[in-house]
Amino acid sequence: MVKNSHWKSKHFWTEGWGSLGLAVFVALFIRWAFFEAYVIPSGSMLPSLLIHDHIFVNKFTYGIRVPFSEKWLVKFSEPQPGEVVVFKYPQDMSTFFIKRVVGRAGDRIYYEKGTLYINDQPIEKNPPMGNTEFEAVRDKDFQENGDVFDSKGNYVHFIENLKGKKHSILLRKGEIYDSFGPVTVPEGHLFVMGDNRNKSSDSRYWGFLPEQNILGRASIVWLSCEETLPVVSFLCNPLTIRFNRFFHLVN
Protein backbone atom coordinates (compact mmCIF):
# COMPACT_ATOMS: atom_id res chain seq x y z
CA MET A 1 0.00 0.00 0.00
CA VAL A 2 1.28 3.46 -0.93
CA LYS A 3 0.99 6.05 1.85
CA ASN A 4 -0.44 9.48 0.98
CA SER A 5 2.01 12.39 0.96
CA HIS A 6 1.77 14.73 3.96
CA TRP A 7 0.07 17.61 2.12
CA LYS A 8 -2.67 15.32 0.81
CA SER A 9 -3.59 13.95 4.21
CA LYS A 10 -6.83 14.99 5.92
CA HIS A 11 -4.95 15.84 9.10
CA PHE A 12 -2.76 18.38 7.25
CA TRP A 13 -5.78 20.39 6.04
CA THR A 14 -7.81 20.19 9.25
CA GLU A 15 -5.20 20.49 12.01
CA GLY A 16 -1.80 21.05 10.43
CA TRP A 17 -0.10 23.90 8.60
CA GLY A 18 -2.50 23.45 5.73
CA SER A 19 -5.42 24.64 7.85
CA LEU A 20 -3.55 27.84 8.73
CA GLY A 21 -2.64 28.46 5.10
CA LEU A 22 -6.21 27.81 4.01
CA ALA A 23 -7.55 30.24 6.63
CA VAL A 24 -5.12 32.95 5.48
CA PHE A 25 -6.09 32.36 1.84
CA VAL A 26 -9.81 32.62 2.60
CA ALA A 27 -9.28 35.82 4.63
CA LEU A 28 -7.23 37.42 1.86
CA PHE A 29 -9.77 36.34 -0.76
CA ILE A 30 -12.64 37.91 1.19
CA ARG A 31 -10.62 41.10 1.63
CA TRP A 32 -9.73 41.25 -2.07
CA ALA A 33 -13.17 40.47 -3.51
CA PHE A 34 -15.85 41.20 -0.91
CA PHE A 35 -15.24 43.29 2.21
CA GLU A 36 -12.42 45.29 3.75
CA ALA A 37 -12.28 47.26 7.00
CA TYR A 38 -11.25 50.92 7.20
CA VAL A 39 -11.16 53.56 9.93
CA ILE A 40 -12.37 57.15 9.49
CA PRO A 41 -9.38 59.37 10.40
CA SER A 42 -10.81 62.87 9.89
CA GLY A 43 -13.96 64.98 10.07
CA SER A 44 -14.47 65.53 6.33
CA MET A 45 -17.60 63.34 6.32
CA LEU A 46 -19.22 64.73 9.49
CA PRO A 47 -21.91 64.17 10.61
CA SER A 48 -22.60 61.12 8.41
CA LEU A 49 -19.36 59.44 9.53
CA LEU A 50 -17.61 60.27 12.79
CA ILE A 51 -13.89 60.29 13.51
CA HIS A 52 -12.84 56.76 14.62
CA ASP A 53 -15.83 55.07 13.00
CA HIS A 54 -14.67 51.61 11.86
CA ILE A 55 -16.46 50.71 8.64
CA PHE A 56 -16.78 47.78 6.29
CA VAL A 57 -16.43 48.60 2.60
CA ASN A 58 -18.33 46.45 0.10
CA LYS A 59 -15.80 45.78 -2.69
CA PHE A 60 -18.09 43.36 -4.55
CA THR A 61 -20.93 45.78 -5.28
CA TYR A 62 -19.26 47.42 -8.30
CA GLY A 63 -17.40 44.36 -9.58
CA ILE A 64 -14.24 42.28 -9.19
CA ARG A 65 -10.77 43.57 -10.00
CA VAL A 66 -7.70 41.89 -11.34
CA PRO A 67 -5.57 41.24 -8.20
CA PHE A 68 -3.06 44.03 -7.41
CA SER A 69 -4.46 46.15 -10.23
CA GLU A 70 -6.91 48.98 -10.92
CA LYS A 71 -8.34 47.03 -13.87
CA TRP A 72 -11.77 45.43 -13.61
CA LEU A 73 -12.12 41.69 -14.14
CA VAL A 74 -15.90 42.11 -14.29
CA LYS A 75 -18.19 45.04 -13.45
CA PHE A 76 -21.65 44.69 -11.91
CA SER A 77 -22.76 48.29 -11.44
CA GLU A 78 -21.64 51.93 -11.52
CA PRO A 79 -21.31 54.30 -8.55
CA GLN A 80 -24.45 56.38 -8.18
CA PRO A 81 -24.91 59.95 -6.89
CA GLY A 82 -25.29 59.92 -3.12
CA GLU A 83 -23.21 56.79 -2.52
CA VAL A 84 -20.21 56.98 -0.18
CA VAL A 85 -17.11 55.44 -1.72
CA VAL A 86 -13.57 54.62 -0.60
CA PHE A 87 -10.89 55.17 -3.23
CA LYS A 88 -7.22 55.64 -3.90
CA TYR A 89 -6.34 59.33 -3.76
CA PRO A 90 -5.40 60.30 -7.35
CA GLN A 91 -2.38 62.34 -6.23
CA ASP A 92 -1.02 59.57 -3.98
CA MET A 93 -2.27 56.07 -4.76
CA SER A 94 -1.01 54.76 -1.42
CA THR A 95 -3.50 57.00 0.43
CA PHE A 96 -7.19 56.11 0.78
CA PHE A 97 -9.96 58.73 0.85
CA ILE A 98 -13.69 58.48 1.55
CA LYS A 99 -16.18 60.89 -0.07
CA ARG A 100 -19.70 61.05 -1.48
CA VAL A 101 -20.37 60.78 -5.20
CA VAL A 102 -22.22 63.90 -6.39
CA GLY A 103 -21.60 63.83 -10.15
CA ARG A 104 -21.08 61.27 -12.91
CA ALA A 105 -19.71 61.55 -16.43
CA GLY A 106 -21.51 64.29 -18.37
CA ASP A 107 -22.84 66.08 -15.29
CA ARG A 108 -22.23 69.83 -15.06
CA ILE A 109 -21.18 70.72 -11.51
CA TYR A 110 -21.31 74.13 -9.88
CA TYR A 111 -21.03 75.09 -6.21
CA GLU A 112 -21.87 78.53 -4.83
CA LYS A 113 -22.73 79.89 -1.36
CA GLY A 114 -23.18 76.43 0.13
CA THR A 115 -25.51 75.18 -2.61
CA LEU A 116 -24.59 72.43 -5.03
CA TYR A 117 -25.84 72.70 -8.62
CA ILE A 118 -25.99 69.70 -10.95
CA ASN A 119 -26.87 70.34 -14.59
CA ASP A 120 -27.87 73.88 -13.61
CA GLN A 121 -30.41 72.65 -11.04
CA PRO A 122 -29.86 73.54 -7.35
CA ILE A 123 -29.81 70.52 -5.08
CA GLU A 124 -32.47 70.88 -2.39
CA LYS A 125 -31.29 71.18 1.21
CA ASN A 126 -33.49 71.60 4.27
CA PRO A 127 -33.08 71.72 8.05
CA PRO A 128 -33.38 68.22 9.54
CA MET A 129 -36.52 67.07 11.35
CA GLY A 130 -34.23 66.05 14.23
CA ASN A 131 -30.54 66.49 14.96
CA THR A 132 -29.69 62.93 16.02
CA GLU A 133 -26.63 62.69 13.77
CA PHE A 134 -25.37 66.15 14.68
CA GLU A 135 -25.81 65.49 18.41
CA ALA A 136 -23.06 62.85 18.27
CA VAL A 137 -20.52 65.39 16.95
CA ARG A 138 -18.15 67.04 19.45
CA ASP A 139 -16.33 70.40 19.46
CA LYS A 140 -13.07 68.45 19.31
CA ASP A 141 -14.05 66.98 15.93
CA PHE A 142 -13.68 70.41 14.33
CA GLN A 143 -10.30 71.18 15.86
CA GLU A 144 -8.11 69.17 13.52
CA ASN A 145 -4.91 70.64 12.13
CA GLY A 146 -4.46 72.94 15.12
CA ASP A 147 -7.72 74.87 14.61
CA VAL A 148 -8.33 74.99 18.38
CA PHE A 149 -10.85 77.85 18.25
CA ASP A 150 -13.29 76.08 15.95
CA SER A 151 -16.33 74.39 17.49
CA LYS A 152 -19.59 72.62 16.75
CA GLY A 153 -21.52 75.85 17.33
CA ASN A 154 -20.01 77.33 14.17
CA TYR A 155 -21.85 74.87 11.91
CA VAL A 156 -25.37 74.28 10.63
CA HIS A 157 -26.78 70.84 9.84
CA PHE A 158 -28.82 70.35 6.64
CA ILE A 159 -30.37 67.40 4.82
CA GLU A 160 -29.41 67.44 1.14
CA ASN A 161 -31.61 65.62 -1.37
CA LEU A 162 -29.21 64.38 -4.03
CA LYS A 163 -31.36 62.87 -6.79
CA GLY A 164 -33.59 61.14 -4.24
CA LYS A 165 -30.73 60.21 -1.88
CA LYS A 166 -31.13 62.20 1.33
CA HIS A 167 -28.04 62.67 3.46
CA SER A 168 -26.57 65.08 6.01
CA ILE A 169 -24.20 67.93 5.25
CA LEU A 170 -22.60 70.61 7.42
CA LEU A 171 -22.05 74.24 6.45
CA ARG A 172 -20.11 76.78 8.46
CA LYS A 173 -22.19 79.71 9.73
CA GLY A 174 -21.52 83.07 8.16
CA GLU A 175 -18.82 81.65 5.89
CA ILE A 176 -18.04 83.57 2.70
CA TYR A 177 -18.26 80.61 0.40
CA ASP A 178 -15.95 80.35 -2.55
CA SER A 179 -17.55 79.62 -5.88
CA PHE A 180 -16.48 76.55 -7.82
CA GLY A 181 -17.11 75.71 -11.45
CA PRO A 182 -18.96 75.13 -13.54
CA VAL A 183 -17.12 72.01 -14.72
CA THR A 184 -18.32 69.00 -16.69
CA VAL A 185 -17.32 65.56 -15.43
CA PRO A 186 -15.35 63.71 -18.15
CA GLU A 187 -15.95 60.12 -19.23
CA GLY A 188 -14.62 57.52 -16.81
CA HIS A 189 -14.55 59.94 -13.89
CA LEU A 190 -16.66 61.08 -10.93
CA PHE A 191 -17.03 64.27 -8.93
CA VAL A 192 -16.90 63.63 -5.17
CA MET A 193 -17.37 65.84 -2.12
CA GLY A 194 -17.21 65.52 1.65
CA ASP A 195 -20.36 66.07 3.71
CA ASN A 196 -18.51 68.56 5.92
CA ARG A 197 -18.40 70.99 3.02
CA ASN A 198 -16.05 73.59 4.53
CA LYS A 199 -13.54 71.04 5.82
CA SER A 200 -13.11 68.56 2.99
CA SER A 201 -10.33 68.07 0.47
CA ASP A 202 -12.30 66.77 -2.51
CA SER A 203 -12.86 67.21 -6.25
CA ARG A 204 -13.14 70.97 -5.82
CA TYR A 205 -9.45 71.04 -4.93
CA TRP A 206 -7.71 68.08 -6.56
CA GLY A 207 -9.92 67.33 -9.56
CA PHE A 208 -12.04 64.50 -10.89
CA LEU A 209 -11.86 60.98 -9.48
CA PRO A 210 -11.00 58.23 -12.01
CA GLU A 211 -13.55 55.44 -11.57
CA GLN A 212 -10.74 52.89 -11.68
CA ASN A 213 -9.49 54.27 -8.33
CA ILE A 214 -12.63 53.19 -6.46
CA LEU A 215 -12.15 50.38 -3.95
CA GLY A 216 -15.78 49.97 -2.92
CA ARG A 217 -18.85 51.43 -1.28
CA ALA A 218 -18.95 52.17 2.45
CA SER A 219 -21.69 49.96 3.87
CA ILE A 220 -21.78 49.71 7.67
CA VAL A 221 -20.15 50.97 10.87
CA TRP A 222 -19.16 47.91 12.92
CA LEU A 223 -17.24 49.70 15.68
CA SER A 224 -16.87 53.30 16.82
CA CYS A 225 -15.12 55.15 19.62
CA GLU A 226 -14.38 58.72 20.64
CA GLU A 227 -10.72 58.06 21.42
CA THR A 228 -8.05 55.49 20.58
CA LEU A 229 -5.39 54.03 22.86
CA PRO A 230 -2.35 56.31 23.29
CA VAL A 231 0.32 53.77 22.31
CA VAL A 232 -1.53 51.73 19.68
CA SER A 233 -3.53 54.48 17.99
CA PHE A 234 -5.36 52.12 15.64
CA LEU A 235 -7.17 50.44 18.56
CA CYS A 236 -10.25 51.89 20.25
CA ASN A 237 -10.15 52.92 23.87
CA PRO A 238 -12.82 50.60 25.30
CA LEU A 239 -13.90 53.31 27.76
CA THR A 240 -14.99 55.59 24.89
CA ILE A 241 -16.87 53.15 22.66
CA ARG A 242 -20.00 54.53 21.01
CA PHE A 243 -22.29 51.52 21.39
CA ASN A 244 -25.14 53.23 19.53
CA ARG A 245 -22.99 53.28 16.36
CA PHE A 246 -22.69 49.49 16.16
CA PHE A 247 -24.16 48.18 12.88
CA HIS A 248 -25.05 51.72 11.83
CA LEU A 249 -25.68 51.76 8.08
CA VAL A 250 -23.69 54.31 6.10
CA ASN A 251 -26.22 56.62 4.49
pLDDT digits 0-9 by tens, 107-122: 999 999 899 999 999 9
Q: Of 27-41, 53-67, 81-95, 160-174, which range is least confident?
A: 27-41
Candidate from 52-56, 67-71, 136-140 with smallest mean pLDDT: 67-71
What was the pLDDT predicted at 9?
A: 54
Q: Which pLDDT band holds residue 52 (cuts at 50, 70, 90)?
A: very high
pLDDT at 18: 52
Strand order across the 115-118 sheet: 121-122, 115-118, 108-112, 180-184
In sequence order, which ranges of 148-224 are alpha helices (DSSP H)? 203-206
Model confidence band, residue 144 (pLDDT cutoffs 50, 70, 90): confident
Tell me the average pLDDT across 53-68: 86
Span 163-189, average pLDDT: 89
Measured torsion, CA atoms of residues 84, 228, 138, 200, in degrees rounded to the nearest 10: -40
- Chain centroid offset of residue 20 CA: 32
pLDDT (mean) for 156-180: 89
3-state class percentages of the chain: helix first, strand second, coil last, to nearest 5: 20, 35, 45
Burial class (CB in 10 A: 0-12, 13-18, 19+), 10: exposed
Predicted pLDDT at 230: 86
Residues 203 and 194: their CA atoms lie apart, in Å, by 9
Per DSSP, the residues of 121-160 read: EEPPEE--S--HHHHT--GGGG-GGG-TT--GGGEEEEEE
Of all residues in the chain, the percent with pLDDT exceeding 90 is 65
Residue 34's pLDDT is what?
56
Cα 112 to Cα 213: distance, rounded to the nearest angstrom: 27
**Region 203-216: what's the mean pLDDT?**
95
Q: Are 158 and 125 in contact (CB under 8 A)?
A: yes
Q: Where do the domains of the chain lie, and which CATH numbers do they carry?
A: 37-249 (2.10.109.10)
Check if the beta carbon of residue 111 is closer than 8 Å to that of residue 180.
Answer: yes
> What is the pTM assigned to this prediction?
0.84
State residue 19's pLDDT score.
52
Residues annotated as catalytic (active site), given as ranges:
44, 99
φ, ψ at 137 (rounded to 5°): -85, 140
Provide the CB-side half-sphere exposure for 124 (13 A, CA).
Answer: 7
Name the pLDDT band for 69 (thresholds 50, 70, 90). confident
* Nearest to 219, CA basis, from 36, 6, 11: 36
Q: In what order do the strands lie in the sheet with 155-162?
A: 125-126, 155-162, 165-172
Least confident of 40-44, 99-103, 111-115, 129-133: 129-133
Percent with pLDDT over 70 in the chain? 84
The number of residues in the chain equals 251
